[in-house]
Structure 1
Amino acid sequence: MSTALIQTRNLKKYFKTPKGTLHAVDGVDLEIKKGHTLGVVGESGCGKSTLGRAILRLLEPTDGEVLYDGKNILNYDKKEMIDMRKRMQIIFQDPYASLNPRMTINEIITEPVKVCRTITNKKEIEKKVTELMDTVGIAQRFINTYPHELDGGRRQRIGIARALILDPMFIVCDEPVSALDVSIQAQILNLMMELQEERGLTYMFITHDLSVVKHISDEIAVMYLGQCVERAPSEELFNNPLHPYTKALLNAIPAPDLSSRSKSKTVIKGEVTSPIDPKPGCRFAARCPEVKAECTLQNLELKENSRNHFVACTLYNRDYSMY
């Protein structure tokens, strides 16, 4: 029996535009085991955030399946989805824009409880809020303050508390530290890892910062223009990247030692392919230094190259179906 809490099968999200159909998420297959973290990385505009929102049905997928504990939630009606909201939450990227400036910290944290009606007793709600504020490291003296009175780190802690108040099992973390100072980033990441261990949480951690994703993720999925081009355990991906795009991303990570300055950096050249009505073939082909004729003939599937290491590339076209 699968231990995966979240699975997607051929998940797609398209948007109609005046110039055609934009393929924001195009046939993504992934799974996240219970209590684990899947890091999703890629350039801005590759569809990371759209993928997270489609899994939560904040954006309705165009096609495919989203399985929670083996059940396809895309078949759920409005009443069933309200119940699912208690199990799946999101931490947004911008702690400045994601909090209502007209609500106090107390009102922001308690809003999900009032919407889902999980707790009706006022004293129980107050107790839950104060406990959560202690958990995420917010002093109780801030309970009646407004978001503009707090710094970015405290605001993001409020966003985490709001996501936790319904006691979810799965949380989409949409670049939760990218808008914060480096020192605050470390504090928030450590907090999230502690919460995961204490509560058995399952994360989908979206980021463009590879050093961050290595720190927190058990497995990493690399996206390019709406498609997953490589997926592997975190350590395996960093030690043995296969896809040319993954190699270029890892090569771009700044090294802290001065001796690395003499090493040459791989620069991705060429124009980004349009995600509007894309032609068949690998979407990285126009920028790939190892492109071959067959790269543009048909769409490439994510195949297992070695145990638990999947890649969509003509350089690795052996059949590993025996595994």
Structure 2
Amino acid sequence: MEEKILVEAINLKKYFKVGASQLHAVDGINFRIRQGTTLGVVGESGCGKSTLGRVLLRLYDVTDGKILYDGADITHIGPKELKKVRAHMQMIFQDPSGSLDPRKSVKELIGEPLKIYRACPTKAAYEERIARIMDTVGLDMRYADSFSHELDGGRRQRIGIGRALAMDPDFIVCDEPVSALDVSIQAQILNLLMDLQDEKRLTYVFITHDLSVVKHISHEIMVMYLGQCVEYAKTADLFANPMHPYTQGLLAAVPIPSLWARKLSAQVMRGELTSPVDPAPGCRFAARCPYATEACRGRDIPSKEVEPGHYVSCTCI
């Protein structure tokens, strides 16, 4: 039996006004995420990954397109309905130090969503729920009355994960949750997220620029470049057969920690990034692509399915 589609984006767009112009942060994104799976979103800084995550949770209003959650259109619902939906949709932010109130204890930080939604009828139930969440994310109860700035980065990120889990959500946007952590702590947090997914059938959008991380945790991967999806495929297919020149360049730049491994690719991506402010029609990677022709300019390049489940936006394919 096929898993149901929990989250769907249809021609999703988010533009920001820049004077008389518009910055195309997210421009025509389409995808479906099956319940209990992870969609990895990768790309360079400034490609629109984090904006996409915030749009999915309606932290930013949509410029155009639709967001479907569990089959329901949540694109333009009002504050009352949105509050109900947000109990099931949460976010883990990149910088735990910046996303946690330094004046509140660990217990207060994790329990804040429970108070907002009045999820616990008694103080005893509230305390028991917090203890259970802290145990789930691997935080010892002796830290309950500590402040976040007194703890290390790994424990601070566990607080962020605990807050996200407080209301037992179905869908979590993970915005580079391990990029600020040491490698050993990264592995602990990634394994925790994967264990929680198996246990609670959580659905993730995992935003990162680290290809080794996204390979480890994702079922499918979307590669973004300047607001657009240039390639979308199952994780194994993307790493085995990257088709878009930008994806190939990203993978070729990944260093291999071995004395006998191949050297880094000599085909370094060169050239200036195209401005995302009122971009001209055409492939936005054309200015840096060694295979670009006139066919790549002057018209938008549609995404086509070159293999089952493998989509690429490129005239060379």
The TM-score range, normalised by the shorter chain, is: over 0.9
Q: Is the 8 A contact 1:305 1:311 kept in 2?
A: yes
1:291 alignment counterpart: 292
1:54–1:263 distance in 2 versus 1, CA, 3 Å: closer
Distance 2:291 2:62 in 1: 33
Equivalent AA in structure 1 for residue 301 of structure 2: L
- Equivalent pair of 1:252/1:265 in contact (CA under 8 Å): no
Q: How far apart are 1:19 and its partner, in Å? A: 6.0
Please tell me the residue identity of whatever aligns with 1:269: R
Q: Distance in 2 between matches of 1:297 and 1:290?
A: 16
Whether 1:185 and 2:186 are equivalent positions in the alignment is yes
Match of 2:233, SS state, is strand
TM-score, normalised by the number of residues in structure 1: 0.96
Alpha-carbon shift at residue 261 of structure 1 (Å): 5.0
Aligned-residue offset at 1:303: 1.4
After TM superposition, give the deviation of residue 263 of structure 1 in Å: 5.5
The one-letter code of the counterpart of 1:40 is V
What does residue 80 of structure 1 align with?
81
Query: Structure 2: which amino acid aligns with 1:84?
Result: V
Residue type of the alignment partner of 2:42: V
Q: Hey, what's the Cα distance between the residues in 2 that align with 1:108 and 1:47?
A: 29
Matches for 1:1-323 after TM superposition, within 5 Å: 3-18=4-19, 20-260=21-261, 262=263, 264-316=265-317
1:199 CA drift (Å): 0.3
For 1:303 and 1:113, the matched residues in 2 are separated by 44
State the Cα distance separating 1:18 from its structure 2 match: 2.4
Counterpart secondary structure, 2:95: coil
SS at match of 1:67: strand
AA in 2 matched with 1:162: R
Percent identical among aligned pairs is 59
Residue by residue over 1:240-298, the C-alpha shift from the partner in whole angstroms, topping out at 9 and shown as x without a partner, is 00000000000011111122354543200111000000000000000001101110021
State the secondary structure of the residue aligned to 1:231: strand
Q: Which moved more, 1:299-308 or 1:39-48?
A: 299-308
Structure 1 letter corresponding to 2:298? L
> Where do 5+ consecutive residues of structure 2 fail to align?
none
Secondary structure of residue in 2 paired with 1:256? coil
State how far apart, in whole Å, the 1-side matches of 2:206 and 2:37 are: 10
Amino acid corresponding to residue 143 of structure 2 in structure 1: F
Query: Residue 75 of structure 1 aligns to a residue in which SS?
Result: coil
Classify 1:215/1:262 alpha carbon distance in 2 versus 1 (closer, same or farther; 3 Å).
closer
Moved over 6 A (4+): none
Root-mean-square deviation over aligned CA pairs? 1.2
